[in-house]
Amino acid sequence: MTFPRGFRAAALAAGLKPSGKTDLSCVVSSADCAWAFAGTRSTTAAASVLRNRELYASGQSVRALVVNAGVANAATGRQGAQDNAAMADALGSVLNIPEDAVLTASTGIIGHLLPMDKVLSGIEHLPEELSDAALPFATAIMTTDTKPKTASVTLPGGARIVGMAKGSGMIHPDMATMFAFAFSDAQVPQDALRAAFPGIVARTFNAVTVDGDTSTSDLTAVLANGQAGPVELPAFLTALEGVMRDLARQIAADGEGASKLLTVRVGGAASEAEALTAARTCCVSPLLKSAVHGSDPNWGRVIMAVGRSGAKVDIEKMQVSVQGIPVFAGKPLAYDAANTSAEMKAASEVVFDINLGVGQARGEAWGCDLSAEYVSINADYTT
């Protein structure tokens, strides 16, 4: 996979990850970009999120992004903020672009300062690695991910959208709960892009949960440099949401210790917000996630989670299906539990369809099963 025209990226190993794998990367555009952004709503947000939020409020265009993986640079005080700004300034200097045209992103262990000697030395060498290849960047931003996550689409007329994401644990709706970046050579109005982005985020990355924990550091952004010329805005926004949806599902499927993707589709809701809330609550329920891991069609846990979500329900009209097999319709239904369990066990994706029986709105969320491996990964994360 390659970047859209006008974008190049670089990645190298600066020594931030104990594994020695690539951990410092950048993407640069040959022209100013219209952009949209969302950052974690955590009240302990990292320096990169806070700085990007300030740049976003200014309304100016951007040209580049620099990312480190291995150190979150969160809960690091004034020094952390200075180090984050120094990353942007260093990349701006080697690329001969303004410091405030550079976005920053950091992911990894919370509470550790960046080893700035390694970071700054690495940034000096990033221009030597610049190319249009997308995979090196997608790989360098990973932490506990088992695989890089990419998605792309080509619009009528030839404009492209290419997306990359990282995320495996500390994933829960509150924007952004991971890194996700989309790059396009389409020409789109920045105001229109920003107006549409919150809705796209709500239906994609804010519909993903792995473990109920929201990160301090994570964010999503889309950059469009206009090199392919103007496009039909509705078609572009639909395509962008498709890329983001693809990446969101990949994050859920690669949840720490996961063996199955969990998809919950809710219909018959009073509003889209309530449908999404009900779906997300099901996906984060430890009881339901454990049942999915054990291939147990225990639909009572669905009833429980929907009720806990606070979404309006008419229990006499409510319906639940597991892998397309109806199990509840206002009352328990007779079904073959052993066969349903076998269907769940054989599948890489377990799907629950729920109708709340009170309206017409729909929503969908994604999660994963809960395994002993999740505990093992996180018990040993820093030791």
DSSP tag of 4: P
Give strand pairing partners of 321: 326, 353
Is the distance from CB of 24 to CB of 71 less than 8 angstroms?
Answer: no
Could you please report the per-residue DSSP string of 305-366?
A: HHHHHT----TTT-EEEETTEEEEESSB----HHHHHHHHHH-SEEEEEEE-SS-SEEEEEE
Q: How far apart are CA 24 and CA 17, in angstroms?
A: 10
E strands of the chain, at which residues?
7-12, 24-39, 62-71, 102-109, 149-154, 160-166, 179-184, 219-224, 261-269, 319-322, 325-329, 349-355, 361-368
Sign, Cα dihedral of 121, 122, 127, 128: positive
Q: How far apart are CA 137 and CA 135, in angstroms?
A: 5
Give strand pairing partners of 352: 264, 322
Is the distance from CB of 229 to CB of 157 less than 8 angstroms?
Answer: yes
The structure tokens listed for 154 are 């080509």
Catalytic site residue from 76, 107, 150, 177: 177
Catalytic-residue membership of 204: no
Residue 78 burial (C-beta neighbours within 10 Å; 0-12, 13-18, 19+): exposed
Query: Where do runs of H (alpha helix) occur along 96-177?
Result: 116-125, 135-140
Is the distance from CB of 363 to CB of 207 less than 8 angstroms?
Answer: yes
Q: How far apart are CA 298 and CA 206, in angstroms?
A: 26
Catalytic (active-site) positions: 177
